[in-house]
Amino acid sequence: MAVSTMSITHLPATSQPGSSRFNVVHAIQQAIHDHPQANNRAARLAESLSHLLHLHIEPPSSSSHANNNENFNSDLLISDYEQKHSTPPMSPKEDISQNWREIQGLSSNWEGLLDPLHPWLRREIVKYGEFAQATYDAFDFDGFSAYCGSCRYNKHKLFDKMGLAQHGYKVTKYIYAMSHIELPNWLERSHVADTWSRDSNWMGYVAISDDEETRRIGRRDILVAWRGTVAPCEWYEDFQRRLDPIGQKEAKVEHGFLSIYTSKSDTTRYNKTSASEQVMKEVTKLVKFYKEKGEEVSLTITGHSLGGALALLNAYEAASTIPDLPVSVISFGAPRVGNFAFKDELDQLGVKTLRVVVKQDLVPRMPGLVFNEALQVFDEITGTLEWVYTHVGAELKLDVHSSPYLKKGINLIGFHSLETYLHLVDGCLSSKVPFRVEARRDVALVNKACNMVVDELRVPHCWYQLANKGLVCNEHGRWVKPKREPDDVPSPTREAHAHAHAHDHIDNEMQTYNVNVIRPLCTT
């Protein structure tokens, strides 16, 4: 394979002045975008700094909402947005039971469905994206919490708490991965001593479609959702820039991703088995259970950012080890993961990957992005050979400029945010047509963790936050952090126990809905 045929340019990220400068611009920009509240201190800081550093930073202002719709009218936009406040944020669900193979990319690799974007596919992409979003929204980021790095809710509550119950899935298992010392900034670690785990992070979950959803989508869908990282700038510089072999052939994947997926240690509470082993054991069990019932079964793996990379590794393993299982990956803003041989093997295994990519997002261009094209000459080709990564599957390309609801200034965090992705999918008609006016998803969600919505709509920036950061005033008038509900405190023994009895639950449900007598699975 000749290097010259590849459309990938790459220079390793460095800590040279150029890339530092890049990060500073970015960080300043974020400071401007994220903290306009209270006294605008951050914005002033940013202004002073940009002045000091002789950088030109676009300030956030109402004039920054340039947009591509020529007939765009700010008042119309506001009134449309406010009118939608009293309508549900979702259209009625279609019955896709006859078309699910197409929608999962199994029959035609999504050919003809992406541009224009088929409305049934659009809805499924948003559904899977919202499952990935839940891995962020439920995650405990509080470094002062003894549960930092865990999910704030147990698996039975998760979808209710995240407002996702209407999607018709049930969580069957949580996945934990080791928070690596060799990757200091990728995963979260509590600052406190007596933490639930010093070694592991909640990294996602396995869920299964319920009977009603199963009827609508034409098969029993096993879902795996992988958590990514919130701020990609935290980890892209940490790429180990090392490709490790996966499988038995030539396929290689990025060392850091593989390490998160496969690491385990007997001294940990949650990673005596690796994320890979946890997820594969659960998926294998569910496949066996439903296939033995004669049901059609699919596996859909989703994830954003780092989570999209893990989804691909997971898909590779599932397709390699479980025969006759249709495997689809719906990833959002995922970086490249492996080499050409990895892509070829995925194709041979029949893994279908739909990569949803925002044109302005830098993360899908990593590893391999030339950070400082203007500042640095190309490395010798020989120096870059080791760094050859390629994307796999089909791509759904989105454009921030298509939405009249979004600011157009450079905002790397905003461009990469999963909620921005979901907003753009929801509004996507085709590459030629602007944002669809019938889009019903709540625009306010975009600003949960960034500042992308035009100021006219008055959606606060980074608004997804706990009241008083979780402190409550106790009966004595003191502000304290309440203890977690006991059943939301991570516990490997309780989770293993609950899991051992999960089949009884599945049985009961099946009996309720299907009036079938089901042979219990042997626990392995």
Residues that bind a copy of itself (CB under 8 A): 20, 23-24, 27-28, 30-31, 36-42, 44-45, 48-49, 51-53, 62, 84-90, 141-144, 163, 185, 191-192, 229-231, 233-234, 442, 444-445, 449, 455, 458-460, 462-471, 473-474, 476-481
- Is residue 482 helix, strand or coil? coil
d(CA 189, CA 262): 19
Active-site choice (50, 197, 305, 417) = 305
| CB 244 within 8 Å of CB 253 | yes
Are 495 and 158 contacting, i.e. CB atoms less than 8 angstroms apart? no
Rounded Cα–Cα distance for residues 2 and 5 (Å): 6
Find the shortest distance in angstroms from Cβ 331 to a copy of itself.
21
| Closer Cβ to a copy of itself, 143 or 520, answer by number | 143
CB of 466 to a copy of itself, least distance (A): 6
Pairing assessment for the beta strands 252-254 and 243-245 based on DSSP bridges? antiparallel
Helix (H, G, I), strand (E, B) or coil at 361: coil
- Reference 441, options 405, 409, 411; nearest CA is 405
Q: With contact defined as beta carbons under 8 Å apart, do 415 and 359 qualify?
A: no
The answer to whether residues 10 and 384 touch, using CB atoms and an 8 Å cutoff, is yes
Phi/psi at 463 (5° precision): -85, -10
CA distances to 128, 139, 201, 242, 442 from 226, in Å: 11, 12, 12, 22, 23
* CA-based nearest residue to 192, from 155, 140, 263, 269: 140
**Least CB distance to a copy of itself at residue 263 (A):** 21
For the bound state, the minimum distance from the C-beta of residue 483 to a copy of itself, rounded and expressed in Å, comes to 12
Output 462 or 489, the one with its CB closest to a copy of itself.
462
Would residue 416 show up in a list of annotated catalytic residues for this protein? yes
Residue 28 belongs to what H/E stretch?
helix 17-34
Task: Indicate left, alpha or beta for 513 from its phi (over 0: left) and psi (-120 to 50: alpha).
Answer: alpha
Question: Helix axis angle, 275-292 relative to 255-262, nearest 10°?
Answer: 60
Whether residue 320 lies in the annotated active site: no
Q: How far is the CB of 156 from a copy of itself (least distance, A)?
A: 21
Least separation, in Å, of the C-beta of 74 and a copy of itself?
A: 11
What is d(CA 78, CA 83) in angstroms, rounded to the nearest whole number?
8
Closest C-alpha among 89, 233, 460 to residue 452: 460
Q: Which is nearer to a copy of itself, 281 or 481 (CB)?
A: 481
CB of 442 to a copy of itself, least distance (A): 5
Neighbours of 245 (CB within 10 A): 15
Nearest distance from C-beta of residue 199 to a copy of itself, angstroms: 19
C-beta of 297 vs 418, nearer to a copy of itself: 418
**Diameter of the chain by CA atoms?**
73
Q: Which is nearer to a copy of itself, 472 or 500 (CB)?
A: 472
- Please identify which of the residues 416, 423, 461, 503 carries the catalytic annotation: 416
Looking at the Cβ atoms of 105 and 168, the one nearer to a copy of itself is 168
Task: Choose the catalytic residue: 137, 199, 361, 488.
Answer: 361
| CB closer to a copy of itself out of 143 and 383 | 143
Q: How far is the CB of 344 from a copy of itself (least distance, A)?
A: 35
d(CA 155, CA 204): 10
Specify the DSSP element, H or E, that contains 117.
Answer: none
Identify which of residues 231 and 410 has a Cβ nearer to a copy of itself in the complex.
231
Q: Under a CB-based contact definition with an 8 Å cutoff, are residues 192 and 149 in contact?
A: no
User: Which of residues 48 and 508 has its CB atom nearest to a copy of itself in the complex?
Assistant: 48
Token couple for 44: 């002033």
Q: Are 424 and 375 in contact (CB under 8 A)?
A: no
- DSSP secondary structure letter of residue 93: P
Catalytic positions are: 305, 361, 416
